[in-house]
Amino acid sequence: MNDKLAVRTGSKVTQEDIARICKIDQGSVSRILNKDTRDSFADDTVQKVFKVARELGYLHPALVTSNRRSSQRRKAGMPAKVAIVIGTNTVYDEGTCEVDEISMSGMMLRAFKTRKQSLPLDVVRFDLDVLAPRLRGFKCRCRIVRFSDDDSQFGLAVRFEQLDEANTDKLKQFLK
């Protein structure tokens, strides 16, 4: 019988369930999930505990917050010029978009208007130039971190890849 199927149906996943599947004791599972440094565990064991916990849907702060933003976003609603770049500086497409939200680590981009209206099936980056007065001249290079497709509009969350000191200062002033 598959150990993962042996978890009680209809009830909450516990550390005991994770321990049974990983073949370690519940105390070890607790120390691993809480990143307790009093004990040391093999990397394989730590990875297995986190993998099993995620697969079973175990809710723990170490799992829930691992994909949280590194800084808070602020509504921006600013137009920007965008170049979609592939490979070594080959411009795939150009146009405009809206910087919907912005933070010290990245932005949420929406309302894309480009000639091709598509993204390539390749590693892609975005070169942006914000057009709004409060951040006019703010330029950055970004990579996609996630897609957002709510009922109203498609969006891309991007993380800054290159941000020089002058642009970092402009952004700090805007976010104050």
Report the amino acid identity of residue 145: V
The helix/strand/coil state of 146 is strand
What does the mean pLDDT of the chain come to? 84
Q: How remote is the C-alpha of 107 from its chain's centroid?
A: 11
Sign of the dihedral through C-alpha 50, 54, 59, 61: positive
Considering only residues 43 and 149, tell me which one the structure prediction assigns the higher pLDDT: 43
User: Residues 112, 153: one domain?
Assistant: yes
Task: Check whether residue 154 and residue 94 sit in a common domain.
Answer: yes
CA distances from 64 to 52, 55, 59 (A): 14, 13, 7
Cβ proximity of 133 and 79 under 8 Å: no
Q: State which of 30, 64, 98 marks the end of a domain.
A: 64
Looking at per-residue pLDDT, the higher value among 121 and 64 belongs to 121
The stretch 168-173 carries a mean pLDDT of 88
Quote the pLDDT of residue 95.
96
Give the CATH number for residue 93.
2.40.10.220
Host domain of residue 101: 74-175
Same domain, 24 and 55: yes
- The secondary element (H helix, E strand) that includes residue 56 is helix 43-56
Domains of the chain: total: 2
Residues 30, 80 within the same domain: no
Tell whether 107 and 163 lie within a shared domain. yes
Does some domain include residue 123?
A: yes
39, part of any domain:
yes
Asked which of 19, 39, 64 is the last residue of a domain, the reply is 64
Per-residue confidence band for 16, with pLDDT thresholds at 50, 70 and 90? very high
Domain co-membership, 90 together with 168: yes
d(CA 156, CA 11): 36
Reported as a single tens digit per residue, the pLDDT across 64-83 is 554 455 567 788 999 999 99
Answer yes or no: do 83 and 45 share one domain: no
Same domain, 11 and 59: yes
Q: The whole model's pTM is what? A: 0.59
Does residue 29 sit in the same domain as residue 105?
A: no
pLDDT average, residue stretch 31-60: 86
